[in-house]
Amino acid sequence: MLYVKVSGQPPSVTIALAGELDMVSTQTLNTAIKELDKDMIERITICLSKLQFIDSSGIGQLISLYRALKVRGIKFRVENNNREIEEVLELIGLREIIEE
């Protein structure tokens, strides 16, 4: 199960994810993102520190989100202090992709 908590006010919003981010949770994340008023937002921070599990499909969703926001000129950042999650992000090279 994926839990999504949105905090902060435009122009800067933080989305904290908890639980499992994989192919099963695609809909949950997409719904939460759709509900945001993106015209008012300049920066989105995704916090993964409380995430218990992420796989390549989950990271794929983050990359798709980053690309969609970039088109709208919205800045995107990933925050994380969870070692197991960071290892998968590094293995896939997420940070290299979103800093391209």
Contacts for 98 with CB less than 8 Å, ≥ 6 apart: 62, 63, 66, 76, 77, 78
Contacts for 10 with CB less than 8 Å, ≥ 6 apart: 37, 40, 41, 42
Closest distance to another protein from the beta carbon of 54 (Å): 8
Q: Contacts with another protein: how many residues (CB under 8 A)?
A: 16
Answer yes or no whether residue 55 interacts with another protein by CB under 8 A: yes
Please give the Cα distance from 44 to 13 (Å, whole number).
5
Closest distance to another protein from the beta carbon of 99 (Å): 15
By CB under 8 A, what part of segment 2-31 binds another protein? 20, 22-24
Residue 24 vs 68, nearer CB to another protein: 24
13 close to 41: Cβ distance less than 8 angstroms: yes
Query: What does the binding site for another protein look like in residue numbers (CB under 8 A)?
Result: 20, 22-24, 53, 55-57, 59-60, 63, 84, 88, 91-93
